[in-house]
Chain A
Amino acid sequence: MSNTMPVEITVNGEARQREVEPRMLLVEFIREELRLTGTHIGCDTSFCGACTVLMDGAAVKSCTLFAVQADGAEIITVEALERDGQLHPIQQAFSDDHGLQCGYCTPGMMLSSLALLAENPTPSAKDIRKALAGNVCRCTGYQNIIKAVQTAAGQLRGA
């Protein structure tokens, strides 16, 4: 059974059209069709959150969503964060506060954090832990991630 269908997905502000098999996952569309490899596959079992992207503003696991379901949607991936060589405040904060070690979880962590900060510009440490509960980090022990999100929250409020 070989069948494809056209989709148009706006990724990082750019409308991208492709013919895809319905079983193609959004993460594969992003990584393999668009070659945007900042979105990582950590577990492929819906657990780790490394594949988190924003879909119409909400954090979602792109390994648990077919590309055809995102037809017409606006997707934001980690590649949208840096502008003209200038790190986004959330990236700067992860770097300054040592919110990453190997960096594998970091794109997903940052996108979940941005979804939180869009809704709640002054999150408590507990709010941050709840918002990042679907993102696993095997390196940092989370403390510096919480700190980085708080730093970024301050930066974004000031901006």
Chain B
Amino acid sequence: MYPAPFRYHRPGTLGSALKLLAELGEGARPLAGGQSLIPILKMRMDEPSDLVDIGRLAELMHIRQEKNRVCIGALATHARIAVSAIAGEIPIIRDCAGGIADPQVRALGTIGGSVSIADPSSDWPALLHTLEAEIVCQGPSSKRAIKINDFIKDSYTNSLADAELVTEIQIPMPPENSGGAYIGFKKAAPAYPAASAGVQLTLADGNLCRDIRLVLGAAGPVPVTSRQVEQQLIGQPLAEKNLSQAAEALVELSDPPSDSRGSSEFKRAMLRSLFMRAANRAMQRAGGEKITGSHDYV
């Protein structure tokens, strides 16, 4: 399958890439790992006039810890993130990075491309909610950080302005006694999850919940979150009953479409059980247990 013809550019710096995108205008698209864009072009669902290959910009490849936050360059690949020191420290990051697709896709696909495409089944947009991440967006003469929830506007719709690129993902370091887990369910490795759930929490004395973030992925046009449901758990023991009430309330807000990955009913059942598993794993990790894990396959 051949994409429609396009012109190809490979600027050497971030500054020249931003300038070029501004000059080329509407028909141009950035190309990062290509693991979402190339399949789209091959199916001719998009026919851009120009591709601006940002894939080699060394300025956007970092993964580092700065004081109380983690900064991940937009071009960090899923594979590099999965084996990074940061993924060791914040296990929910490793769950996500190591569970996406298969080794070949993880070797090329990037976190920046993943949030930008805003596919309703993408793992990073869902996961990043649990860590209250901010997305740094840079244009030829502007730079701003947007909360992940505000960045993802709708299915396949982000809030980038013309000629803006995602340059970095910023994640505050979780406090002491925190733990998280993210689990997706899919039919095979090289497929998006049919459903996913993430829980990141901090425990207080007596195993009460000090703080918690919950998310359901592939559960509607955008990740399903609810500040209200989270708040009801704060100060409470994270007992089975409280958690299943939270699961029920979140699933109520979800709207998973029936498609080749399963019926809407099946997905709701999966969301419920993935949520409970993620919550239990998050509690174990917050209590200091080392548990590896990522997505589950049939």
**Chain A residues close to B by CB (< 8 Å):** 1-3, 5, 21-23, 25, 44-49, 52, 55, 58-61, 64-66, 68-69, 112, 115-116, 130-131, 133-136
Partner of A64, one of B10, B39, B188, B191: B39
The interface stretch among B103-111, B163-171, B238-246 is B103-111
- Known interface pairs A45-B39, A64-B39. Does A134 touch B104 (Cβ–Cβ under 8 Å)? yes
- Known interface pairs A45-B39, A69-B53. Does A3 touch B5 (Cβ–Cβ under 8 Å)? yes
Across-interface contacts of B3 in A (CB, < 8 A): 23
Please give 12 more A-B residue pairs, beta carbons under 8 A apart, in addition to A44-B42, A133-B189.
Answer: A1-B5, A23-B2, A46-B35, A49-B102, A59-B107, A60-B108, A64-B39, A64-B105, A66-B34, A69-B31, A130-B103, A134-B102
Is B161's CB within 8 Å of the partner chain A?
A: no
Is B55's CB within 8 Å of the partner chain A?
A: yes
Q: Which residue of A lies closest to B108 (CB)?
A: A60
- Distance between Cα atoms of A22 and B47 in the complex (Å): 13
A105 to chain B, nearest CB (A): 13
- Known interface pairs A23-B5, A23-B6, A49-B102. Does A65 touch B34 (Cβ–Cβ under 8 Å)? yes
Is B190's CB within 8 Å of the partner chain A?
A: yes
Interface contact A22-B104, CB-CB below 8 Å: no
Closest 6 CB pairs of A and B: A134-B102, A133-B189, A22-B8, A58-B107, A1-B5, A134-B104
Interface contact A64-B34, CB-CB below 8 Å: yes
Interface contact B38-A60, CB-CB below 8 Å: no
Interface contact B34-A134, CB-CB below 8 Å: no
Across-interface contacts of A22 in B (CB, < 8 A): 5-8, 51
A-B contact pairs, 13 of them (CB 8 A): A45-B39, A59-B103, A60-B108, A61-B105, A68-B53, A69-B55, A131-B103, A133-B189, A133-B190, A134-B101, A134-B102, A134-B103, A134-B190
Interface contact A68-B189, CB-CB below 8 Å: no
- Known interface pairs A112-B103, A134-B189. Does A64 touch B7 (Cβ–Cβ under 8 Å)? no
Is B1's CB within 8 Å of the partner chain A?
A: yes
B86 to chain A, nearest CB (A): 20
Across-interface contacts of A25 in B (CB, < 8 A): 2, 38
